[in-house]
Structures are given as C-alpha cells and as structure tokens.
Amino acid sequence: MCGIAGILSPDPEQRALIEAMAHSLVHRGPDDMGFFRQGPMAMAQTRLSIIDLATGHQPILNEDDSLVLVCNGEIYNSPSLREALMEKGHRFRTATDVEVILHLYEEHGDDCVKHLQGMFAFALWDRARERLLLARDHMGQKPLFFSNVSGAFSFASEVKGLLASKLIEPQMELEGLWHYMSLRFMPDDFTFFKDIHKLPAGSRLVFENQKIKIDRYWDIDFLKKHPGSEKEIEEGLHQTLRETVESHMLSDVRVGAFLSGGIDSGTVSAMMATLQDQPVPVFSIGVKEQSFNELPYARMVAERYGMEAHEEIVESDMIHKIPAMIHHMDEPSDPFGVGVYLVAQLARRTVKVALSGDGGDESFAGYDRFAGQRLADYYAVMPRWLRQNVMSRLIRLIPDTFQYKTIAQKARWLNEMSLRDRGDRYAHSMSFLRFTDDAKRSLFTEKAQATFDAQDSREKILAHFDAHNVNELVDRMLYTDLMTRMPDHLLVIADRMCMAHSLENRSPLVDHRLVEYAAGIPGNMKLKGMKLKHILRSVSSRYLPKELVYREKQGFGFPIALWLRNDLSHFLRNLFAESRFIQAGIFDAATIQTLLDEHLSGKADHNFRLWILLNLELWHRMYFENLSVDGMRELTDRMMHR
C-alpha cells in the first residue's frame, strides 16, 4: 500500500516538482520513499510496507531496466502468477507482489491488467517507446488522478498530489458540483477541480505521442446465471467467499478486521478466525445513542470466536475532525466517512492491515431501497390522484423524530417513489435525501447555472440502469450501484479515511471474482420477496448468531440530524452567515436559510443536505483560502462560541 505520483515533461524544472508531490502523499506510505528520474519521466512512491518488508522498494525495474513501475495496492494472486512467470524464464528482483505486473506487461502488453486479482493503481513507464500506461483495479478500490496542463502530463494517488506540483491552479468544477449535490459522489471522470480528472474504475490510460487514450478493460455480466439449485449456488458462494477472504490475508505483517454489527463485516471476521490459529484483532466503534449503537452485536461475534476486541465510543465533537477528513478526501467529507475515519484510527494503533465488509450491500441487495422498489409497486395500486393529492398532504403531517429510518422518512420516500417508473424511480431515489434536480435549481443561482451544462443528474444513473448486460430489476439496481456509488463514493471513503492513518483496508466482498460470482446468482436469491441479501444471509448463518443475521439492517451511522439540531446549531448559523458559496454567487441565500430554519425548528429533517453544505464551506476555506487543518480548528472554535 502506498502513494504514487509522476510527471512526464521535457522541462527539468517541472520534473523537479515530483519531490513536493511525493511529500504530500507521505501519509499513504510513511515507511519508505523512492524516486525514478530519467529522460522526460519522473516517478515517485511512498511506501507502507506490508509484503517483502526488506526488498520491496519502489520504483521497480524489470530485468533489462526497460520498464519502470510504481504501484499502489496488493496483488492477491501474485504467488501463482510469479510461479507461472518464472517457469517462462522471467527473473524477479524482489519478493514483493506487485513486481509481477512488469513481467505480465512483457508477456501481454496492456492486457496485463486482465490477469490481476487485487486492488491496484499503477503507472508503468516503457522507456524505449516513451509510453506511459496507467491502470486502476476492476472495482476502483485504489485511486488514480491525472492532469494534462502546462505542457506536462502528471498523475497521483490523490488530488493533493497534483495540487502540490503547482502545475494546476485550483479552480472549482461547477458542473461536477451540480451532480455531486444530487448523487453524493462525483460521477464519470469528474473531480471538484477543473483540469483534474480521475481514471475510472476498471480502466487503463495510455499516454503516448502527446495523446491520451482511455478504455475500460472489464465489465460485469449479469445475463449469464449459475445453473443448479439454490443450495448448490449458496455452496458455490460460500467457497468463493472463503477463498477470497483467505487470499486477502496475504501479508508479512499482522492483519485485523473492522467489525460492526452487520453481517458483512461479521462474516468476513468470522471466516478469518476459522482460517488462522491466532485471535483476530477486530475493531469496533459505537455511540452513546442506543438506537444507533451496534457494539452489542459486534461483541457477539468477537466473543463467539475469541477475537482480540478493541472498542471505542465516539461523541458529537466530530466537528473538529471534519477538517482532517476533508484534507484527506480532497473533497467534502461524508457521514459514513466519520465512522471509517474513527475505526481506522483505532485499528492503526494495533495493525497495519484491516479487512472490511464493504460491498455486501451492492452485490447482494442489502439496502432498503431495493425492497422499497417492490413495495412502491404494491403501493402504486392506489389511484395516482389519491397518492399525489391526498396522501402526500397527510404524510407531511407526520412529525419527524430525527432518528434513523423514521416513519415520516419512509412514508415520504414510498409515496414519492410510487409516482415514478422503474429507472426514473431508482435514479430519483439517489437524490431523494439530498438535492433533486428541482431543488438544485432553487439552490444554485441563475448566474451560476448559466456557466455550465446543468444536465439532470438522473441521466448519470440511467446510463447504467438501462445497460444491455443486465435484465432483472434487482440486477439493474445492483449494476448501477457497482458502477457508480461503489467506486465513486464508498471506496473513495474507505481508501482515504484508512490512508489518513496509514492503514491498508482490504475488502474481500469487492474482489472482482466475488462480484462476478454474485452477478451470476438469480435476482430472486439475492432479494427474495422483501428479504434483503437472502443468499448471503444463508452463508452468514453458518458463522454468525441468528439474532444478528436476521435482524433489521441498522447501518453504520451516527445521529447527525440530532447533533446538527443541538450541539452544532450555533455553529451552522454562524458558518452560513459567512457562506463563501453565497458570496461567490453560486448558492441562493434564501434557499439555504429555509433549509436551516426548517431543520433547527424541527419542521423537516434536512440533515443530509445541511451536512453537504457545511462540508462545502469548510472545504472551500481549506482549498481556496489555504487554511490548514489547525487553522480550521481555530475557525470552528470561533464559530461554535461566537
């Protein structure tokens, strides 16, 4: 695990900026730093030593020094790949896993990526051809950003690496921001900054003769289903998952696991416990508010397997943690990210590597909205005029308790979704708790909207929902999530929040082989009637207590809505009174004031919207006013108590 960076330029002064880029990524790899400088290419890597502690220094060159590699990630099938390559006469200089990429390139060229099982983002410089190959893993677990301005092509593991080069002047990308306000993530190759792009998941980029070529080397086929009975498919899933978890335990240092109260992390942790003799270190966090606290369920698993349990209770003082999170995200933080940041901080005191349960919901239909689509169909039997004119008014009278999954929230969601058809319904559900297209047209000023193409963000979802490699409704929803929310939101958070603490996060349920197996499972075995994650629960029941496996999904969350109304209410008023987005003419002051007043008075729960707006304000001050994390602490203290 590490950070990588590079500059391809004929100008030696530009190439010298690689030093600043590398130092900006040292949190990703505090154990070592290496450089390659020759000809027009400068490359760097900061290393977190996990495999081959002694000789795994990067950049790595092949036998005749014609190829140079820097890689961030782990190649789980490297032992078998290495053996096969050595039989063909390839000579290895190190025992590190990523060296196989060099020799696979010698054998297969750009298709080397198709032979890898793992999480990776790498840059391979072909010195003789002056040709640069960049690639990201199938699901996008490891990040890679690039820019082609000022006569230089540059790349880095994080946006801050590119900004550190000073080759790019930070400018806000308003078109990307428009989509973010609805989707909670940046779609396609967007980032928050103009001229900085992300390489999409499962894609490779070739820079040659001053031209950029990007293509996708992998996709998921949902049309071909596994033959056999449900029991046989369940056994196949069990074996695939177990083999995947075992491969993810490859390490020369101790490996732990995140353990929440859900079945995904619980199953991964339990499998680890059965695959090794020593107690598995597991890490869990909780909150004092019992309706959000999952620690009792995590303890069930830890006690059953004699795990080495580490726990921590967090409180609402997280406002002081947000600037550090934004610094590592290079974009606004997310409520889900708070939990990952804190559990990673806890884990790093004991281990360098932790397995997680990320990805179970996206491959096996674990979110309420999957079952909600079917429920909306049943509800839609009621005449449309009744739902639109009568039910909507009655539902607005239900008071919101600002808790998790309240009756008021569910009723509003169900009624609104029933008024739309399949694809449009699912796309709209992405923005329901945030800013719909209509809401954005009130939030963004007319002046701001005139500066970019304000397309309906639902099109970013429908492009995948309506794809030709999927037909069942549940699979359309899953494919959409796997192509959008997974690489552009959840895995972004998992990577940055763990790397903030120099901790490697591995996600067996995101392994592309497991994702492919899950895609081949008939939809009615994943979502059986209204039962979420049916077949995965069957596998999990082999390892976990039944009261945990079959309880209602709770989620890894915090009482944000209550914290914003109470502890942080004064802070919000002061922050929005000095809104940089209002001052810049991007957001409408009256719209923001209405959202704030309605939330603080208890009239409506706008916590998701306010969280985004709060984070944008802090992000702007850090990236456009150059306030440091420490400087942000002073600002937040001032606004909390002014």
Distance of CA 582 to the CA centre of its chain: 29
For 476, the enclosing helix (H) or strand (E) is helix 473-483
What b/e string do you get for 611-625 counting C-beta neighbours within 10 Å, with b at 16 or more?
bbbbbbbbbbbbbee
Reference 144, options 327, 6, 41, 18; nearest CA is 6
**What is the rounded distance in angstroms from the CA atom of residue 506 to the CA atom of residue 249?**
9
Map tokens 């390490």 to a residue.
251
What is the arrangement of strands in the sheet containing 2-8, beginning at the earlier edge strand?
A: 32-38, 41-47, 2-8, 152-156, 145-149, 197-198
Q: Which amino acid is at 101?
A: I
In residues, how long is the chain? 642
Pick from 478, 514, 231: which is nearest to 357 by CA?
514
Annotated catalytic, 2? Answer: yes
Phi-psi region of 62 (alpha: psi -120 to 50; beta: other; left: phi over 0): beta
**Packed helices 569-577 and 589-601: angle between N→C axes, nearest 10 degrees:** 170
User: Around Cβ 301, how many Cβ atoms within 10 Å?
Assistant: 27
69 contacts 101 by C-beta, under 8 angstroms = yes
Dihedral angle at the C-alpha atoms of 513, 517, 523, 526, nearest 10 degrees?
-80
Please state the φ and ψ torsions of residue 205, each to the nearest 5 degrees.
-125, 135
Buried b (16+ CB within 10 A) or exposed e, 547-569: ebbeeeebbbbbbbbbbbbeebe
Beta pairing, strands 152-156 & 145-149:
antiparallel
Instruction: Give the Cα separation of 21 and 156 in Å (integer).
Output: 8
Strand partners, 213: 206
Q: Rounded distance, CA 439 to CA 106, Å? A: 53
Catalytic residue numbers?
2
